[in-house]
Amino acid sequence: MRQGDTVAIVSPSGPPNPELLRRGVQRLESLGLKVVTGAHALDRQNLEYLAGEDAARAADLQDAWCDPAVSGVFCCRGGYGAARLLDLLDWDAMRAAGPKVLLGSSDITALHNAFGIELGVPTLHGPMAACDVIAGDEAGPEPRTWESLREALFETGAPVPVTGDRVLAPGRAEGEVRGGNLSLLASMCGTRWQPSFDGCIAFLEDIGEEPYRVDRMLTQLLQAGVFDGVRGVALGSWVGCGDPYPVLEDRLRPLGVPIVAGLPVGHGTPQMSMWLGALGVIDTESCSLTGSTGVWDQAR
């Protein structure tokens, strides 16, 4: 992206805190971006966990993506609800609109996965406009999170590796990075948008899941063949998940591919930004995942 580009903020999942959204808009504007907000971004639905009616949330998302004046579509927050929009989107119209930046994480995994399948474009897994690390502190955004987001959006130089804190299986792997929130990926099994890590690096993270539930979801993905042909695994944050590493090692090490863990990507602080649908390299000697920056040229 470039300074002066327009980004649209939408709420495909849960309802944002209005004050955090206001502050997040101001901080994005400080990057030199022009920010517009979807007409229904602050709506509430009778189901309190949704930011307005499904049709309204889908319309905001599609209108923003299809608007030629908009270069990026940034999500307010996660929560739940993005998967409910997938059947309501006109994928042909969105495909015709061409590539632009989709930014979000957590529940937005449903969109990352579907956009990769339907549109074939890279998407940016990173902090959202009304989340705590961007807008929760009046003094400013969390510095490492903010710098990582700025680099992912604007920099075209050498990619900066994201470093973890442990290796579960040694080696080196290259491939397109796919994945996101484990719960969302498991929920998409058996749908038109079932994920696949064939020939790819799988990225996984989650929040608030007990180890046995992590086990259950990994087992579901394994039994569905989602990991068939995977080249490597990168594990992000597991906030509020107890100690998930015995389960992660038990379920994933038999894949026989390099595995790095403890990457500060997902939930918690900091939240580093990472392109999905772009090439990445796992290097267990440095316990890192390095992603591409020239994402449009290097997408499949």
Q: Is the pLDDT assigned to residue 295 strictly greater than 70? A: no
Residues 185, 266: Cα–Cα separation, whole Å: 14
What does 45-71 look like in DSSP terms, one character per residue? -SSTTSSS-HHHHHHHHHHHHH-TT-S
pLDDT of residue 273: 96
Active-site pick, 196, 267, 273, 292: 267
Residues 163, 287: Cα–Cα separation, whole Å: 6
Residue 286 annotated as catalytic: no
Active-site pick, 71, 205, 209, 292: 205
Q: At what angle do helices 245-252 and 211-223 cross, to 10 degrees?
A: 20
pLDDT of residue 155: 82
Q: Is the pLDDT assigned to residue 300 strictly greater than 50? A: no
The model's confidence at residue 151, banded by pLDDT at 50, 70 and 90, is very high
Question: What share of the chain in percent tops pLDDT 90?
Answer: 93
Q: Tens digit of pLDDT for each residue in 218-277?
A: 999 999 999 999 999 999 999 999 999 999 999 999 999 999 999 999 999 999 999 999
Residue 209 annotated as catalytic: no
More confident residue, 120 or 159: 120
pLDDT of residue 47: 86
Q: Is the pLDDT assigned to residue 51 strictly greater than 70? A: yes
Average pLDDT of span 27-51: 94
Q: Which of 42-51, 84-93, 100-109, 197-206 has the lowest mean pLDDT?
A: 42-51
The model's confidence at residue 293, banded by pLDDT at 50, 70 and 90, is low
Residues 284, 257: Cα–Cα separation, whole Å: 11
pLDDT of residue 45: 81
Q: What is the mean pLDDT of the chain?
A: 95
Active-site pick, 106, 148, 196, 273: 106
Residue 267 annotated as catalytic: yes
The pTM of this model reads: 0.95
Q: Is the pLDDT assigned to residue 77 strictly greater than 90? A: yes
Q: How far is CA 183 from CA 27, 210, 228, in A?
A: 30, 12, 19
Nearest partner of 77 among 123, 146, 12, 163, judged by Cα: 12
